[in-house]
Amino acid sequence: MKTCLVIDEAPVIRKIAFRLLSREGVDVDTLEKPSQVLDWIDSHGAPDLMVVGVSAQDKTIVDEIKAIRERCGSAMHVVAMIVEANLGLMTRLKRAGFESYVYKPFDRAALEASLARYLEPETILA
């Protein structure tokens, strides 16, 4: 079963993402702040996917994600939840290790479409 960690300051975003992803058979957990992620990883191991709410005013997210990437490597996928297409922010996030974006507010179809490639079962080549 794929694991996903949803990080967002807004309880409603965490709740909606938790419900939508759980319905898809994903083992989901939520946190309020990216600063809590390393402790969570120490307790649970790295998730397959991390979905992080980001705003242009968040000045620490790039450093936090770089630290998480250093600990977990590239096996974990990281997706940003953003409100608008801000090229400067999106560029900084890509450099920090984010792979793609989900626009808030999202519905089930938008969330599934954005995350499907990260949640598909892995195929083993013989």
> 34-46, pLDDT tens digit by residue?
889 999 999 999 9
Q: What is the dihedral of CA 115, 110, 103, 39, to 10 degrees?
A: -40
Whether 102 shows a pLDDT value over 90: the answer reads: yes
Question: From CA 41, how far away is CA 125, in angstroms rounded?
Answer: 29
Mean pLDDT of 66-90: 89
Residues in the chain: 126
pLDDT at 28: 96
Which residue do the tokens 């649970």 mark?
44
Q: How many CB atoms lie within 10 A of CB 112?
A: 15
Residues 58-65: contacts with CB under 8 Å, at least 24 apart: 60/34, 60/35, 61/34, 61/93, 61/96, 62/92, 62/93, 62/95, 62/96, 63/96, 64/34, 64/35, 64/37, 65/34, 65/93, 65/96, 65/97, 65/98
pLDDT at 91: 93
Q: CATH for 3-119?
A: 3.40.50.2300
Q: Which residues pair with residue 53 across a beta bridge?
A: 81
Q: Domain locations in the chain?
A: 3-119
pLDDT at 123: 42
